[in-house]
Structure 1
Amino acid sequence: MRRGRLAFFALLVFGSSLFAIKGFTWDMGIPKFYFASVSIAVFVVFSSLKAVRKPCRLGVSVPQVFALLFGVYACLTTLQLLGTLPQVFLTSLGFAMNLLLFVLFSVLISAERFDTLLIILQLFMFAGLVIAVDAVFSFYTGYGLLWGTENNPFTRGNLSSVIGNVNFTTDLMAMLLFPAAFLAVSKKRIWRHERIRHIFYLSLFSLFLIVIMIGQTRAVYYSVIVSVVFLVVFLIFSLLRFKLSSFVAAFSKLFVTLLIISSIAIMIVYSGDNPLTSGRFSFSERLTYTTEDSISVDVRILQWKAAIKQWESSALLGTGFGSYKYLSTENMGKVLTEEPEYMYVAG
């Protein structure tokens, strides 16, 4: 990869992951979102100009076709807001257009060489490392390195880091967890010193998993568990479909073993009362508490039924991209009228 392209992708990744200026904005998500949007728009424009000068073949997969159609549909359905909520039309249209822009970027970036994609992936890993270190340090000390926040140690909110939200931080860690696992166990030559690469990404995987554990976000717990199930099913299919020897040879047996041991050890440690948890939380208890938390379940069911009400009002044309937050209160009222047993949730 040429230095100019490498610098651009590094700027895109680190800017969209870390960009937030204290004292300039109270919302740490919007600056990153628009930083990424502008950067991707520049990438799309330059890619288009390059295609005009030198036509190239761009392959589009079936999932990408559906994603592009959804992006176009999101922009078109936003026109509905002109009649219902004209004051938020431009905001909604902006988000819908950004969705289409992000999908278009995914199509263009998929045409890059595998080595280029691998470099971009590792840039995301390094950005995740910065966020994870800050989150763990802040959780145990109460002091945020990047945002300069101060709070009590062992407080879940400390994990927000520069992401601004604990749930979003753990979501990011979950998204980076499996790529880190792949980079830790793959035998494909990526670095000059491969043993260092294996150790580094194994440590990174463990760090991401620790952030997920102390984040106590049940939705992320379940998403990781379901992802592991899908991964196991895929591995079984691959073993049956392809030759066992060639498939196993692609991964380091030593680091696969260490990865499994590390995962089990972290889950055990963060399920007990010890200096790393200070008895404040337990991964296993948090996971099993879901069925007992009836209020949390009912709140989500109420929100889901409100969304169904909104969809029923315009099933084909939609009600506008991102309009749920504006129309949910009205639709929750309709649900409560029909099902008053949810009244205690609203109260």
Structure 2
Amino acid sequence: MRKKRTKLIIRIALLVGTIVSLFFVPWLLVKAWILPLPDTVQEQLDEAIEHGFEGMIVYIDQADQPPQYFASGWYNRESKVPAKPNALFKIASISKLYDAVAVTKLVSDGRLSLDKTIADYLPELEGRIENAEKITLRLMIQHRSGIPNFTDAPDFWAAPTETYEESLALIQGLPANFDPGEDYEYCNTNYLLINKIMDDELGYGNFQFIEQEILAPLNLKNTFASLSEVDIEDVMSGYHVGYPHDLKTNDYGMHATAEDVGTFLRALNDGSLFGEGEQEIYSSIYEYEHAGWVPGYQSFAKYYEDIDAVVIAFYSTTDPDLYNWNLSEIINNRIVKILKSQKSL
């Protein structure tokens, strides 16, 4: 009798949990969406902090206006340092835009071919990655390779890999998720291999090429390959719901200020980043906006053609269920609505 009662209690608890997950969390998102639109971007950032984000940075480059810098919440929660608009931030997968531009320039120079395969560039992987002889550089850039994503490995973010070899080991021998070119699936393994291919062709780390061909021409002095290249005190703290510690000491790749990312994105979209014939190549292989996620850090970089505005938004809080991701997208849309309403005045 006692066992039956215990099972009943567990079932009731699970049912209550399900009801809460179905109704409580979505309504928080609905609330963020239907609240009256603030008059200013700063007010929207302050409202975002009230929704639960620890800190936020926004950079806006709108045509015929000086750049705008916004921040709210904490730069460092523990020491109570307010958010700084010029803080370095982990930009995560926004870095793929820089990689795609670097590939474009190497293709334009005849040093890489979009139609060569993994087997051509990395013959040691033939037989270790399914369809290596069919997966082209173009398909990897476009996330149409079918290769499994190494960051989807169980508990990956609890102990991330640190080297190319460690990352590759997580997917070697796994079957393809689909035939090359037959579907789309966002996959970090694609860019792991692309970076290796660029390194091999150049004979040195490809970020040096990015510095020479992208950062230097744009005078971007606050964009770095990794945490090891920066002063840790210049990095904004990041927090993951359920994890008590600051995550800024974890090295997840590129770091940059919102302004540097915004300057890059403007040049990417207006074409000034490209030499002759390069923009046509780039447009055929990749996109002109991106977002990024690593524990503690969400980043968004987008150009809005109708108002000729680049908007970069950084959020220093993540969670296991991606609730904060959905919330941040609502806030991003509200920021753009504010810009549009201001433009119409």
Normalised-by-shorter TM-score class: under 0.3
Larger RCO (CA under 8 A, 6+ residues apart): 2
TM-score of the superposed pair, with normalisation by structure 1: 0.22
Q: Decide which structure has greater helix share.
A: 1
